[in-house]
Amino acid sequence: MKDFETVIIGQGPAGLSASIYTSRGGIKTALLGCDPKIAGDYEIDNYFGFPETVSGRELIERGVKQAQRFGVTMECDRVLGIHFDDTGKYIVKTEHDEYRTCSIILATGVSRKKPDIPGFEKFDGKGISWCVSCDGFFFKGKKVLVAGEGIYAANQAIELTDYTSDVAVCTLGKKNTITPDYMKRLRELNIPVIEKGIAELKGGDVLDGVVFSDGESSSVQGIFVALGDASSTDFARTLGIITEGNFIQVDREMKTNAPGIFAAGDCTGGFLQIAVAVGEGAVAARSAIAYVKENCRGA
């Protein structure tokens, strides 16, 4: 069992940012997770301070070095579960270890769950995108689909109307789980919800059409994936943390309803961008520092 004052779950922008603040603020910090999804050759064009495009990989490597400079303990280890022990602390169980802590920052992001669409890989990045704020601009005036479920998909579709009026949500053959509030907003924006699967993707170098499971064709030029991960909401459920769909509910200080548990970044929903994740990480860290100083020391 390893003891820390705060355990941060997720080594993406939110987790790294939070860890820099907590460790620099003198809090004994563990940062758990592995392979941040953005740590690839993705070109980041809209993050402050990089006039030339920076790769996701370089941004994360720089963040890791910065966190290490302030003494963060980083482990490439997947968290399996969190529970309360009889001393009133949280136990974070990972694939390789156990951590005892009085505060936790959830920064688990939303996972890139691949949709079950034949030929998906061929068009990934060539008509298929994972992020409206990053790529919506490239689909100005085009016909696009959001492939996914629930509030996440509805939000992405609503955001897409900044770029095009020809947007639909496709549930990939699953039951529509979008809440009535969001359905009302989709109807107001003329965004239909198609409850069919996608049987085929069409196109040469880039996507230019889909065939639905009932054989109907559509000249879709863009598909945005919006399938969320359950991991952060799984933890939330065990701990009685309030969620909204797949996202963790937080207040302005990134506090959840559970004492000592904070959340930041994509797992809290809203505008899923690096700048937001980094900012929320900083706010969550400030709250965690205050919590640790008030509740976890010298008793």
Binding interface with ligand FAD (CB under 6 A): 9-15, 32-33, 35-38, 42, 44-47, 78-79, 107-109, 112, 130-131, 134, 231, 265-266, 272-275, 277
**Nearest CA among 245, 263, 250 for reference residue 152:** 245
DSSP-derived pairing of the beta strands 144-148 and 128-129: unpaired
Q: 259 Cβ partners below 8 Å, 6+ apart? A: 291, 295
By beta-carbon proximity to ligand FAD, the closer residue of 10 and 148 is: 10
CA 16 to chain centre: 14
**Residue in 152, 112, 107 with CA at minimum distance from that of residue 244:** 152
The position carrying tokens 């939110």 is: 14
Q: Smallest distance from the beta carbon of 284 to ligand FAD, in angstroms?
A: 11
Between residues 48 and 214, which has the closer beta carbon with respect to ligand FAD? 48
d(CA 165, CA 143): 8
Nearest-angstrom CA–CA distance, 281 and 43: 22
d(CA 98, CA 204): 50
Burial class (CB in 10 A: 0-12, 13-18, 19+), 298: exposed
HSE-CB of 69 using CA atoms within 13 angstroms:
11
Shortest reach from residue 22's CB to ligand FAD, in Å:
15
Query: Least Å distance between CB 71 and ligand FAD?
Result: 20
Residue 213: CB minimum distance to ligand FAD, A: 26
CB 297, min distance to ligand FAD, A: 26
CB-nearer residue toward ligand FAD: 10 or 222: 10
Beta carbon of residue 104, minimum distance to ligand FAD (angstroms, whole number):
12
